[in-house]
Amino acid sequence: NFFRMYNKLSGMTGTADTEAFEFQQIYGLEVIVIPTHRDMARDDAGDLVYLTAEEKYEAVIDDIEDCFKRKQPVLVGTTSIEVSEHLSSSLNKKKVPHEVLNAKQHEREAQIIANAGALGSVTIATNMAGRGTDIVLGGKKDESEASADWEDKHQAVLDVGGLRVIGTERHESRRIDNQLRGRSGRQGDPGASRFYLSLEDSLMRIFASERVSGLMQKLGLEKGESIEHPWVSKAIENAQRKVEGHNFDIRKQLLQYDDVANDQRKVIYEQRNEIMEASNIADTIVSIRDDVVTDLIDQYIPLQSVEEQWDLTGLQTALEDEFYCKLNIKEQLDEDESLHEESLRELISKSINEDYAKKEILAGAEVLRHFEKSVMLQTLDSMWREHLGAMDHLRQGIHLRGYAQKDPKQEYKREAFELFTAMLDTLKREVVMLVTKVQVRAEEDVQAVEQQRRIQQKMEFKHADVNALEGESEAEAAEKGQPFQRTDKKVGRNEPCPCGSGKKFKQCHGKL
Q: Please give the average per-residue pLDDT across 293-310, as a whole number.
A: 77
Closest CA to 502 of 386, 387, 383, 371: 371
The rounded percent of the chain whose pLDDT value lies above 70 is 82
Q: Residues 344, 349, 355, 357: is their CA dihedral positive or negative?
A: negative
Q: Residues 97, 103, 105, 109: is their CA dihedral positive or negative?
A: positive
Host H or E run for residue 126: strand 122-126
CA distance 64 to 70: 10
Confidence of residue 299 (pLDDT cuts 50, 70, 90): confident
> What is the DSSP secondary-structure string of 201-269?
SHHIIIIIHHHHHHHHHHHT--TT--B--HHHHHHHHHHHHHHHHHHHHHHHHHHHHHHHHHHHHHHHH
Asked whether 120 and 134 are in contact (CB, 8 A), the reply is: no
> What is the DSSP secondary-structure string of 182-204?
TTSSGGG-EEEEEEEEETTSHHI
β-bridge partners, 164: 74, 192
Closest CA to 26 of 264, 251, 176: 251
Closest CA to 187 of 69, 87, 40: 40
- How many of the other CB atoms lie within 10 Å of CB of 203? 19
Residue 146 DSSP SS3: coil
157 phi and psi, to 5 degrees? -70, -40
The rounded percent of the chain whose pLDDT value lies above 90 is 13
21: left (phi over 0), alpha (psi -120 to 50) or beta: alpha
Whether 282-446 and 42-228 are alike in CATH topology: the answer is no
Whether 482 shows a pLDDT value over 80: the answer reads no
Whether 131 shows a pLDDT value over 60: the answer reads yes
Q: Please give the average per-residue pLDDT across 398-408, as a whole number.
A: 88
Predicted confidence (pLDDT) per residue in 38-90, tens digit: 888 888 888 888 888 888 999 999 999 999 999 899 999 888 888 888 999 99
Predicted confidence (pLDDT) per residue in 100-113, tens digit: 887 666 667 777 78
Residue 395 DSSP SS3: helix
Least confident of 52-66, 316-330, 342-356, 426-440: 316-330
Asked whether 333 and 312 are in contact (CB, 8 A), the reply is: yes
Closest CA to 76 of 136, 116, 118: 116
Confidence of residue 273 (pLDDT cuts 50, 70, 90): very high
Residue 165 DSSP SS3: strand
CATH topology of domain 282-446: Helical scaffold and wing domains of SecA (1.10.3060)
CA distance 173 to 461: 71
Whether 469 shows a pLDDT value over 50: the answer reads no
Q: Where are the domains of the chain?
A: 1-35, 42-228, 282-446
Asked whether 154 and 119 are in contact (CB, 8 A), the reply is: no
Average pLDDT over the chain, rounded to an integer: 80
Most confident of 131-140, 268-277, 428-437: 268-277
Confidence of residue 468 (pLDDT cuts 50, 70, 90): very low
Closest CA to 274 of 381, 419, 373, 378: 373
Predicted confidence (pLDDT) per residue in 22-31, tens digit: 888 888 889 9
Asked whether 59 and 49 are in contact (CB, 8 A), the reply is: no
Predicted confidence (pLDDT) per residue in 221-235, tens digit: 677 777 777 777 787
- pTM of the predicted protein model: 0.59
Model pLDDT, residue 452: 60
Side-chain half-sphere CA neighbours of 396 within 13 A: 6
Architecture of domain 42-228: 3-Layer(aba) Sandwich (3.40)
First to last CA, the chain: 39
